[in-house]
Chain A
Amino acid sequence: MRLRRIELTLGTLGTFKMGIAERVTSGDIRAVARLIRDIDDKVPEAREVLKDLYPSTGRAYVVGITGAPGVGKSTLVDQMITHLRKTGKTVGVLAVDPTSPFSGGAILGDRVRMQRHSMDEGVFIRSMATRGYFGGLTQSTRSAIDVLDAMGKDYIIVETVGVGQDEVDIVQSAHTTIIILIPGMGDDIQALKAGILEVGDIFVVNKADREGADRTVSDIRLMIEMDEKRYRDGWKPPILTAQAVFDIGITEILDEIEKHHKYLTSSPVRQSRVMYEKARNDLVEMIKDRIVHEVLEEIIHSGEFEEVLQSIANRRIDPYTACDTIVSRKLKSGGK
């Protein structure tokens, strides 16, 4: 009896003293949720926790899902969760929705399609807003991936906002990138050609019961065939059809993800090149984010930012000179 009580006390103390990083790696949902929020809010301490967590990362398989608004990204993610859970895998989801450029607010609605998983302990779903300006999106999404990875999720699915330049960035954090399209997007495919089509590892034509699905598939095929360098390395992106709402075609998508996974890991040279590219991207983004944040924080705080903006708006000075002045002063001060 007495022994048990001592154990209990120690246990409680242990929990109390446990750092945030330990709580995250032990799967504590509140700790994970708060940390992601702190990362998003750029709380400096969150960075320290991320350093502690880093050794526990690198185990999860990250899948990026992108495509125009309304193509069925959230519904597809929802079905993928169901299938992955049947095989006993745990899943983390980061669903990104746009921030209003006018109010800074956002409605995060991707969760609606995935709510049936909210009681499942093996699934953690988090909505994130793009929060516009300073490229912070990619930074906090990347870090949030690390958090879910350290938490022990087997798969992390990142659902981006609709198609654009930024989404190519996010997608670079993923091992496998899936591009979703729907029939009747002929012209849109043309528009996407340069950006997003180049980063797709798997293409899914969703809502395939609609007229024109075959046409969309052959359009993408043509695009891929023309882009020889994309598959010279041994991976030719497959084009699948699906009807996510009816749970049709999901198994095939997961099979292709698995194949792509095997492809990435089958060659050590390829794998280390992928890791190197990812490291380069992550670091460049991190440095950019950090510098922008530090430079702007200081001058916003001192009121100089507002003054300079007014001067540029009134055409009293040019933005190039303003930029040079601000940046070179910051660099000379040694970033302090």
Chain B
Amino acid sequence: MVAKPGLDGHDRGARIIARAYRDAGFEVVYSGLHQTPEEVVQAAIQEDVDMIGLSSLAGAHMYLFPRVVELLKEKGADDIVVCGGGIFPEEDIPKLKKAGIKEIFTPGTPLRDVVQWVEDNVNPRSS
């Protein structure tokens, strides 16, 4: 699932990412804009996704991203991998990873790499 948490209204990047995954053969649920972390997590659980890709360009990532990880844990759904993409100060990246965000993608990352990372690091759950 590609999700846009928070008040940031720029989803061109998120759409391009969704499209790249589609072209690589993934089923991508797109959440739409202005989602709260609670909504993102609830949707991810209803859709039973393997991974959530969070997009943020507006600076609220230090609250929003860890909150998604926290809520997944609360719901017993922490087997869902969380990644982030967008614009972040360099020093935030290790903090985000420490908070449970598996990988952070910044501007300039080739789409191929973003897709490949998922191929290599996210295993579809067996039932």
Q: Which of B1-40 contact A (CB under 8 A)?
A: 18-19, 21-32, 35, 38-39
Given the known inter-chain contacts A109-B30, A112-B30, please indicate yes or no for A118 contacting B46, CB distance below 8 A.
yes
Say whether, besides A103-B22, A103-B24, A107-B18, A127 and B47 are in contact (CB < 8 Å).
yes
Contact of A111 (CB < 8 Å), options: B19, B23, B32, B45: B32
State how many angstroms separate the Cβ of B13 from the closest Cβ of chain A.
15
Bits for B90-115, please: 1 = Cβ < 8 Å to A, else 0: 00000000000000000000000000
- Give chain A residues whose Cβ lies under 8 Å from the Cβ of B42: 118-119
Q: A34 in the interface, Cβ–Cβ < 8 Å?
A: yes
Interface flag for B51 (CB, 8 Å): no
Q: Which residues of B contact A113 (CB under 8 A)?
A: 32
Instruction: Identify the interface centre among B18, B30, B35, B46: most chain A CB within 10 Å of its CB.
Output: B46
Whether B30 contacts A37 by the Cβ 8 Å rule is no
Q: Is the CB of A100 within 8 A of B43?
A: no
Please give, as numbers and ranges, the residues of chain B lying within 8 Å of A111 by CB-CB distance: 29-32, 43, 47
In the complex, which range does the number of interface residues on chain B fall in?
20 to 34
Q: Could you tell me the dominant secondary structure of chain B's interface residues?
A: mixed
In the bound complex, do residue A43 and residue B127 qualify as a contact, i.e. CB atoms below 8 Å apart? yes
Residues of A within 8 A of B19 (CB): 107
Given contacts A34-B127, A38-B127, A119-B38, contact A107 B46 (CB under 8 A): no
Q: Closest residue of chain A to B44, judged by CB?
A: A33
Residues of A within 8 A of B27 (CB): 99, 105-106, 108, 129
Complex: A46 Cα to B77 Cα, angstroms: 21
| A98 CB, nearest partner CB in chain B, Å | 11
Q: Are A100 and B31 in contact (CB under 8 A)?
A: no
Q: How many residues of A contact B (CB 8 A)?
A: 31
Interface residue from B28, B39, B46 paired with A33 (Cβ < 8 Å): B46
Task: Report how far A111 CA is from B24 CA in the complex, Å.
Answer: 21
Most B CB contacts (10 A, CB to CB) among A38, A45, A46, A108 go to A108
B119: Cβ under 8 A from any A Cβ: no
The majority secondary structure among interface residues of chain A is mixed
Closest to A36 in B: B48
Most buried by B among A34, A36, A99, A107: A107
Give A109's nearest chain B residue, CB to CB: B30
Tell me the complex Cα distance, A29–B25, Å: 26
**Residues B22 and A115 in contact, CB atoms below 8 Å apart:** no
Q: A37 contacts which of B22, B24, B48 (Cβ < 8 Å)?
A: B48
Q: Does A221 sit within 8 A of B, measured CB to CB?
A: no
Q: Report A1-45 residues with CB < 8 Å from chain B CB.
A: 29-30, 33-34, 36-38, 43, 45
Chain A interface residues toward B at CB < 8 A = 29-30, 33-34, 36-38, 43, 45-46, 99-100, 102-109, 111-113, 115, 118-119, 124-127, 129
List 13 contacting pairs A-B, 8 Å CB cutoff, sorted by A: A30-B48, A33-B47, A34-B127, A37-B48, A37-B127, A43-B127, A103-B25, A105-B22, A108-B27, A109-B32, A111-B31, A111-B43, A126-B47
